[in-house]
């Protein structure tokens, strides 16, 4: 049986972010007090990925403690085939209330499933949460107002690090946050296709190798690709002496997206592949104390014509899907590293750059 067509090579996207995938915008809203500590002050937020014109979507949940909304309808066998936005939020299960605000903004602007007259729509907004309640005041959580503001703020250019849903995120013993990355496939059946990721990094697991101090996620590209080198051994000793995170619930969540036109079942495979990148960059991943959840989107703004060598029993889109899944793990892995490198410290939680300054010395 002939094998799949070559997947080609890949280049970093123009902005190296999720919105390199045409048809997507990202907005944040958060509340962060400068004097926030573990237990007082506001330190939480949410992030919205808006799909202009809708997107085909799927989800893959691997963690043992997820907090989600509207994920059942993403089963490829179910009736709803497109979403209008994805909400990623802090606040644990309380933060799911922010989806109401996203829906309100979308309804006001006529985005959703048409149910009658032009003003009668039902926006589809799946959501996932991280557990950030111990950072800042436990009772300060994203509300519908947060979701509305994040949806309204959605744009092609957006901040990373300690913003939006990443404000209260912790990555093991270090400060977590929001990271993003993108790739454009060059050559092969998916030539010109863009794949991007946006990840909110908040795991119980470690994000750096205790033997070298380098983030696990630099493994595929190497530290030079991130402008890094192996840090000083004394910094590594101090890092390995940091107290454990000490929270019962954690979770890394995010979105992987492509502009190529794919089915919901194909998007499911992309979400599955995205978790491979999560497992490369976080160890352990998918634990009983995490609710690791990845959504996958296809905006369908690019179509490709392939002459597949696959047997007739296989879909003609399979070579394209193979190419997309091959890079989906890479963009998730890079997005997690970027979340670490772009994070700023709050509530006394140290950042990677603070703990390993020599990793960036020339």
pLDDT digits 0-9 by tens, 194-241: 999 999 999 999 999 999 999 999 987 889 889 999 999 999 999 998
What pLDDT is recorded for position 117?
Answer: 79
User: Residues 134, 310: contact at Cβ < 8 Å?
Assistant: no
Indicate if the pLDDT at residue 150 is higher than 50.
Answer: yes
DSSP line for 311-360: -TTS-TTHHHHHHHHHHHHHHHHHHHHHHHHH----TTPPPHHHH-GGGG
User: Residues 110, 119: contact at Cβ < 8 Å?
Assistant: yes
What pLDDT is recorded for position 4?
Answer: 36
Q: Give counts: helices (H), strands (E), the chain.
A: 6, 14
Q: Residue 340's pLDDT band (boundaries 50, 70, 90)?
A: very high
What pLDDT is recorded for position 305?
Answer: 63
Q: How far apart (Å, rounded) are the C-alpha atoms in residues 107 and 122?
A: 7
Q: What is the mean pLDDT of the chain?
A: 91
Report residue 300 as tokens: 């369908």
The C-alpha angle with vertex 128 and arms to 144 and 124, in degrees rounded to 5, equals: 65
What pLDDT is recorded for position 307?
Answer: 58
- pTM (two decimals): 0.93
Report residue 16 as tokens: 């190296």
Q: Residue 81's pLDDT band (boundaries 50, 70, 90)?
A: confident
Strands (E), 261-320: 293-302
Indicate if the pLDDT at residue 344 is higher than 70.
Answer: yes
Q: How far apart are the first and last CA of the chain?
A: 51
Tell me the C-alpha to C-alpha distance, in Å, between residue 36 and each of 42, 139, 149, 347: 6, 13, 22, 5
């Amino acid at each position: 049986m002939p094998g799949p067509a070559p997947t080609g090579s890949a280049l970093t996207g123009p902005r190296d972010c999720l919105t390199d995938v045409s048809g997507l915008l990202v907005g944040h809203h958060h509340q962060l007090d400068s004097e926030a500590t573990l237990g007082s002050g506001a330190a939480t937020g949410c992030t919205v990925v808006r799909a202009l014109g809708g997107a085909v979507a799927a989800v893959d949940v691997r963690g043992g403690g997820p907090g989600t909304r509207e994920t059942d309808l993403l089963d490829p066998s179910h009736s709803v085939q497109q979403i209008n936005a994805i909400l990623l939020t802090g606040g644990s299960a309380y933060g799911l209330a922010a989806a109401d605000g996203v829906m309100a903004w979308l309804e006001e602007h006529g985005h959703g499933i048409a149910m009658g007259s032009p003003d009668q729509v039902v926006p589809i907004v799946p959501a996932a949460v991280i557990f950030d309640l111990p950072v800042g005041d436990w009772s300060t959580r994203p509300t519908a107002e947060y979701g509305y503001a994040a949806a309204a703020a959605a744009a092609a250019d957006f901040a990373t690090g300690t913003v939006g849903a990443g404000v209260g995120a912790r990555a093991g013993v270090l400060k977590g946050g929001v990271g993003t990355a993108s790739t454009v496939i060059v050559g092969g059946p998916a030539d010109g296709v863009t794949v991007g990721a946006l990840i909110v990094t908040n795991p119980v697991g470690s994000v750096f190798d205790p033997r070298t101090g380098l983030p696990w996620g630099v493994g595929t590209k190497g530290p030079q690709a991130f402008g890094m080198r192996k840090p000083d051994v004394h910094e590594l000793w101090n890092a390995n002496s940091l107290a454990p995170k000490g929270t019962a619930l954690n979770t890394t969540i995010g979105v992987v997206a492509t502009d190529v036109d794919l089915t919901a079942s194909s998007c499911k495979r992309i979400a599955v592949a995205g978790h491979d990148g999560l497992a490369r960059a976080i160890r352990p991943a998918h634990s009983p104390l995490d609710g690791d959840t990845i959504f996958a989107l296809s905006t369908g703004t690019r179509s490709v014509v392939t002459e597949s060598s696959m047997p007739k029993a296989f879909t003609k889109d399979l070579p394209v899907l193979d190419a997309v899944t091959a890079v989906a793990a890479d963009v998730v892995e890079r997005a997690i590293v970027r979340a670490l490198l772009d994070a700023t410290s709050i509530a006394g939680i140290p950042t990677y750059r603070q703990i390993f300054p020599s990793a960036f010395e020339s």
